[in-house]
C-alpha cells in the first residue's frame, strides 16, 4: 500500500478541508465578534446611564441625508443603522443560509433534522410562554421577541470556554441559529409589516426577476448585484415591508456555482505555472517581464473564477458585519435607561414574557425537541456530543440579543413597552450566557 511522504499523511483530505476550514473561519470571526458585541452593549448601557446620556440620545437622532440622482432620503442615524446596515447584516445571513442549504449542515435531511427540529422547539416554546403572559395585553404583539438566538454572542461564550466545547456542538448551535434566523425573517415579513404598497412591491419583484435572470445568464460581478440590490432595498422600504427583508431576498439570487470547474482550473493553472517557470528560468526581473506578469494575471483570473460569488461575497462581508455593523447596532439599541424603577419594570408582563421566554422557553424547547427527534429516530446526536452538551448549548440559545432587540423595535412603537422588552432581553441574555457557560464547563470537568 502506497503511503504519502512523511508529514503529508497528517494533512486532511480535500473534502474535509472544504467542510472544516470555512466553518472554522466562520466560528473564529463570530466568536471574536461576540466579545466585541458584549463590549459595545456594556458601553451603550453605561453611556445611556451616565451624565452624558443626552449626548447618547442626541447622537442617534442626528439627521443624515443621502442624495442620489436628484432624490434625497433623510433619516436619523438610528434609521440608517437599523434599516440600511442591518439589511447588509441580513444579506450576510441570507448567504449563510443558502450555503448551509447547498453544502452545509442543512444540505441533507439527516444532517438537518436535529438542528431544524431543535430550532422549531426553541422558536415555538418561547413564543407560547410570552403569549400566555401577555395574552390580550398591550404587549401581546411582542411574541416574536424571544424567538431568536444571537449566534455571535453564543459562539463568543463558547470561545471563552476554549477546548471545553466540542467542534460538533459549535456546528450544531450554528446550524440551529441559522434555522432560527429563517424563522425570524418569516415572522418579520409576515407579522411585523404595517401596510403594503403593491406598486413598490411590484418594483421589488421585478428587481428579483432581473437578478435571477442575470444569475442564469452568468453575471458574476459583485457591482451588478450591488446596484440592483440598492434598488431592491429602496423598493422594499417603500412597500411597507421592513427593508432588511431585501437583504435576504438579494442573497438568494447570488450565484453559488463557479464558471470554472475544478478540473479545468487545475489544467489551466498548471499550464500558466509552467509558462511562469519558463520565464523565471531566463533570470529576468519579475517586475519587468511582461510574460511573467501575464502569467500571474491569468492565474489570478483562474483563482477568481473557480470561487463562487456567494463564497467570495460572504468572506468579504464577514469582517465588516462582525466588527462594524453589529457593534454599531449594539451601540444604537442597547442603551436602556435603567433608573430606580428597573426592577419593577422587569416584573411587568412584557419584560417578564421576554425573560421567561428566553431563559426558560429556549432551553426547554431546544432540549425537548432534540430529545423527541432522537427518540423518534429522525436524527442522532453528533459524535462526541452528550445530552449535557445539548442542554448547555440550549441555554446559550437563550442569548437573543441582536435579533431580539431588532424584533422589539419592530413590535413596539410605545417607548415604555420597548424599554421593558429591552430590559428583558438584556437580563435574559446575561442569565442564559452565564448558565450555559457554567453547564458546559461542568460537563467538561465531569468527563475528564
Task: Name the DSSP class of 167.
Answer: H
Q: What is the pLDDT of residue 6?
A: 43
Nearest 10 degrees: Cα torsion 428, 433, 436, 438:
-120
Taking residues 39-61, report their average pLDDT. Answer: 90
Is 90 exceeded by the pLDDT of residue 8? no
3-state secondary structure of 64: strand
Q: Which has more confidence, 139 or 278?
A: 139
Q: Which of 215, 220, 306 lies closest to 253 in space, CA to CA?
A: 215
Q: Centre a 10 Å sphere on the Cβ of residue 264 and count the other Cβ atoms it contains.
A: 14
Is 50 exceeded by the pLDDT of residue 147? yes
Is 50 exceeded by the pLDDT of residue 1? no
Contact between 255 and 211 (Cβ < 8 Å): no
Q: What is the pLDDT of residue 3?
A: 43
Is 80 exceeded by the pLDDT of residue 355? yes
Task: Please report which confidence band the pLDDT of residue 393 belongs to, taking 50, 70 and 90 as the band edges.
Answer: very high
Q: Which of 170, 108, 110, 174 lies closest to 379 in space, CA to CA?
A: 110
Q: Concatenate the DSSP letters of all residues of 77-124 into one string.
A: HHHIIIIIIHHHHHHHHHHHHHHHHHHSTTSSHHHHHHHHHHHHHHHH
Tell me what the pLDDT averaged over the chain comes to. Answer: 82
Q: Which has more confidence, 159 or 233?
A: 233
Contact between 257 and 305 (Cβ < 8 Å): no
Over the range 91-114, which residues count as b (16 or more CB within 10 Å of their CB) and which as e? Answer: bbbbbbbbbbbeebbbeeeebbbb
Taking residues 349-365, report their average pLDDT. Answer: 96
Spatial distance between the Cα atoms of 237 and 207, rounded to a whole number of angstroms: 14
Query: Using one digit for the tens of pLDDT, what is the confidence trace for 114-126?
Result: 999 999 999 999 9
Taking residues 243-255, report their average pLDDT. Answer: 91
Contact between 142 and 353 (Cβ < 8 Å): yes
Query: Using one digit for the tens of pLDDT, what is the confidence trace for 204-220?
Result: 999 999 999 999 988 88
Is 90 exceeded by the pLDDT of residue 165? no
Taking residues 156-180, report their average pLDDT. Answer: 82
Lowest-confidence segment of 87-91, 241-245, 421-425, 436-440 by average pLDDT: 241-245
Give the C-alpha distances (Å, rounded to integers) separating 333 from 29, 44, 143, 181, 397: 22, 8, 19, 19, 20
Structural domain boundaries in the chain: 45-67+108-192+320-447, 272-302
Of the CATH numbers 1.20.1530.10, 3.30.930.10, 1.20.1090.10, 3.30.70.360, which one belongs to the domain with range 45-67+108-192+320-447? 1.20.1530.10
Q: Which of 374, 377, 391 lies closest to 438 in space, CA to CA?
A: 391
Contact between 152 and 143 (Cβ < 8 Å): no
Is 90 exceeded by the pLDDT of residue 9? no
Query: In the structure grid, which three cell numbers stand for residue 332, read together?
Result: 444604537
Is 80 exceeded by the pLDDT of residue 285? no
Task: Please report which confidence band the pLDDT of residue 371 belongs to, taking 50, 70 and 90 as the band edges.
Answer: very high
Amino acid at each position: 500500500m502506497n503511503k504519502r511522504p512523511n508529514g503529508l499523511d497528517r494533512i486532511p483530505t480535500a473534502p474535509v478541508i472544504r467542510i472544516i476550514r470555512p466553518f472554522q473561519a466562520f466560528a473564529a470571526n463570530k466568536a471574536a465578534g461576540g466579545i466585541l458585541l458584549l463590549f459595545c452593549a456594556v458601553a451603550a448601557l453605561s453611556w445611556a446611564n451616565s451624565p452624558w446620556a443626552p449626548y447618547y440620545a442626541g447622537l442617534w437622532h442626528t439627521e443624515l441625508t443621502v442624495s442620489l440622482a436628484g432624490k434625497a432620503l433623510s433619516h436619523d442615524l438610528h434609521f440608517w443603522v437599523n434599516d440600511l446596515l442591518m439589511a447588509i447584516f441580513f444579506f450576510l445571513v441570507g448567504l449563510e443560509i443558502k450555503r448551509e442549504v447547498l453544502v452545509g449542515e442543512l444540505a441533507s435531511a439527516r444532517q438537518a433534522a436535529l438542528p431544524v427540529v431543535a430550532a422549531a422547539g426553541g422558536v415555538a416554546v418561547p413564543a407560547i410562554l410570552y403569549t400566555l403572559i401577555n395574552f390580550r395585553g398591550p404587549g401581546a404583539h411582542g411574541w416574536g421577541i424571544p424567538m431568536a438566538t444571537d449566534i455571535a454572542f453564543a459562539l463568543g461564550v463558547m470561545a471563552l470556554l476554549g477546548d471545553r466545547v466540542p467542534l460538533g456542538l459549535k456546528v450544531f448551535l450554528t446550524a440551529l441559529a441559522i434555522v432560527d434566523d429563517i424563522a425570524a425573517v418569516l415572522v418579520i415579513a409576515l407579522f411585523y409589516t404595517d401596510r403594503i404598497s403593491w406598486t413598490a412591491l411590484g418594483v421589488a419583484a421585478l428587481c428579483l426577476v432581473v437578478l435571477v435572470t442575470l444569475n442564469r445568464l452568468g453575471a458574476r460581478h459583485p457591482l451588478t448585484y450591488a446596484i440592483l440590490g440598492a434598488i431592491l432595498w429602496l423598493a422594499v422600504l417603500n412597500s411597507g415591508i421592513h427593508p432588511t427583508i431585501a437583504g435576504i431576498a438579494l442573497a438568494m439570487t447570488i450565484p453559488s456555482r463557479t464558471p470554472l470547474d475544478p478540473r479545468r482550473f487545475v489544467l489551466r493553472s498548471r499550464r500558466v505555472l509552467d509558462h511562469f517557470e519558463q520565464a523565471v528560468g531566463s533570470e529576468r526581473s519579475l517586475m519587468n517581464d511582461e510574460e511573467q506578469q501575464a502569467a500571474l494575471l491569468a492565474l489570478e483570473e483562474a483563482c477568481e473564477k473557480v470561487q463562487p460569488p456567494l463564497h467570495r461575497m460572504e468572506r468579504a462581508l464577514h469582517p465588516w458585519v462582525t466588527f462594524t455593523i453589529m457593534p454599531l447596532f449594539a451601540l444604537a439599541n442597547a442603551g436602556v435607561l435603567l433608573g430606580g424603577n428597573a426592577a419593577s419594570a422587569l416584573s411587568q408582563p412584557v419584560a417578564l414574557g421576554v425573560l421567561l421566554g428566553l431563559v426558560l422557553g429556549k432551553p426547554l424547547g431546544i432540549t425537548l425537541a432534540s430529545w423527541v427527534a432522537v427518540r423518534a429516530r429522525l436524527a442522532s446526536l453528533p459524535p462526541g456530543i452528550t445530552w449535557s452538551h445539548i442542554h448547555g448549548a440550549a441555554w446559550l440559545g437563550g442569548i437573543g440579543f441582536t435579533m431580539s432587540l431588532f424584533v422589539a423595535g419592530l413590535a413596539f412603537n410605545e417607548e415604555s413597552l420597548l424599554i421593558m422588552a429591552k430590559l428583558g432581553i438584556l437580563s435574559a441574555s446575561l442569565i442564559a450566557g452565564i448558565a450555559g457557560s457554567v453547564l458546559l464547563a461542568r460537563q467538561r470537568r465531569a468527563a475528564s
